[in-house]
Amino acid sequence: MNVSKRGLDIQPSPIRKLKPFADRAKEKGIHIYHLNIGQPDIPSPEAVLDAIHHYDEQIISYGPAQGYLELREAIAKYYRSYDIPLNADDVIITIGGSEAIHFGFSVIADPKEEVIIPEPFYTNYNGFASFADVRIVPLTLSVENGFRLPALEEIEAKITGKTRAILLCSPNNPTGTVYTRQELDGIVSLVEKYDLFLIGDEVYKEFIYDGAVHTSVLEYERIKDRVLVVDSISKRFSCCGARVGAVITRNSDVYKALLKYAQARLCPPSVEQTAAIAAYRMGPEYFQEVREEYQKRRDVLYGGLKDIPGIVIDKPQGAFYIIVRLPIKDSEHFVQWMLTDFQMDNETVMVAPAQGFYSSPGKGLDEIRLAYVLKEKDLLRAIEVFKAGLSEYKTHFD
Amino acid sequence: MNVSKRGLDIQPSPIRKLKPFADRAKEKGIHIYHLNIGQPDIPSPEAVLDAIHHYDEQIISYGPAQGYLELREAIAKYYRSYDIPLNADDVIITIGGSEAIHFGFSVIADPKEEVIIPEPFYTNYNGFASFADVRIVPLTLSVENGFRLPALEEIEAKITGKTRAILLCSPNNPTGTVYTRQELDGIVSLVEKYDLFLIGDEVYKEFIYDGAVHTSVLEYERIKDRVLVVDSISKRFSCCGARVGAVITRNSDVYKALLKYAQARLCPPSVEQTAAIAAYRMGPEYFQEVREEYQKRRDVLYGGLKDIPGIVIDKPQGAFYIIVRLPIKDSEHFVQWMLTDFQMDNETVMVAPAQGFYSSPGKGLDEIRLAYVLKEKDLLRAIEVFKAGLSEYKTHFD
Please state the separation of Cα A360 from the chain's center in Å: 19
Same domain, B219 and B119: yes
Nearest chain B Cα distance for residue A393, angstroms:
31
Residue B180: give its domain's CATH number: 3.40.640.10
What would the DSSP string read from start to end of A319-387? TTEEEEE-SSS-HHHHHHHHHHT--BTTEEEE-EEGGGG--STTTTTTEEEEE--S-HHHHHHHHHHHH
Residues A259 and A310 in one domain: no
Q: Could you tell me if residue A51 is inside a domain?
A: no
Going by pLDDT thresholds of 50, 70 and 90, the confidence category of residue B13 is confident
Whether the predicted pLDDT of A11 surpasses 90: no
Whether A52 is covered by a domain: the verdict is no
Cα-trace Rg, chain A:
21
Q: What is the mean pLDDT of chain B?
A: 96
Q: By C-alpha distance, which of A120, A72, A124, A71 is closest to A101?
A: A124
Q: Are residues A102 and A179 in the same domain?
A: yes
Residue A178 and residue A318 in one domain? no
Give the bridge partners for A98, in sequence order: none
Give whole-number Cα distances, A110 to A222, A258, B7, B8, in Å. Answer: 25, 14, 8, 11
Contact assignment for A62 to B241 by CB distance below 8 Å: yes
Percent over 90 (pLDDT), chain A? 94
The distance of B14 to chain A (nearest Cα, Å) reads 10
CATH code, A354: 3.90.1150.10
Whether B318 and B251 share a structural domain: no
Give me the residues paired with residue B29 across strands: none
Q: What is the pLDDT of residues A270-280, one digit of tens each?
A: 999 999 999 99
Q: Which of B240, B261, B280 is the last residue of a domain?
A: B280
Pair (B13, B85) in one structural domain:
no
Residue B39 scores a pLDDT above 90: no
Residues 6+ apart with CB under 8 A from B118: B138, B139, B140, B141, B147, B149, B168
CA separation for the pair B72, B90 (Å, rounded): 8
A114 touching B (Cβ < 8 Å): no
Residue B231 lies in domain = 57-280
pLDDT of A198 higher than 90: yes
Contact B241 A164 (CB under 8 A): no
pLDDT in tens, A282-301: 988 999 999 999 999 999 99
Global ipTM: 0.94
Chain A: closest CA distance from residue B174 (Å): 16
What's the predicted TM-score (pTM) here?
0.95
**Is 80 exceeded by the pLDDT of residue B204?**
yes
Picking from A42, A226, A275, the nearest residue to B1 by CB comes out as: A226
Same domain, B181 and B130: yes
DSSP state of A137: E
Reported as a pLDDT band with limits 50, 70 and 90, residue B21 is very high
- Residue B40 has a pLDDT of 86
Q: Is the pLDDT of residue A105 over 90?
A: yes
Both B131 and B243 in a single domain?
Answer: yes
Exposure string of A358-382, with b = 16+ CB inside 10 Å and e = fewer, is bbeeebbbbbbbbbbbbeeeebbbb
Q: Is the CB of A261 less than 8 angstroms away from the CB of B10?
A: yes
Nearest neighbour of B226 by CB, restricted to A1, A58, A127: A1
Task: Return the pLDDT at A15.
Answer: 73
Decide if A196 touches B, using CB distance below 8 A.
Answer: yes
Q: Is some CB atom of chain B closer than 8 A to the CB atom of A272?
A: yes
Residues in chain B: 398
Query: How much is the average pLDDT of A314-330?
Result: 96
What pLDDT does A40 receive? 86
* CA distances for B272 relative to A99, B243, B246, B282, angstroms: 18, 8, 13, 16
Four-CA torsion B327, B331, B335, B341, nearest 10 degrees = -70
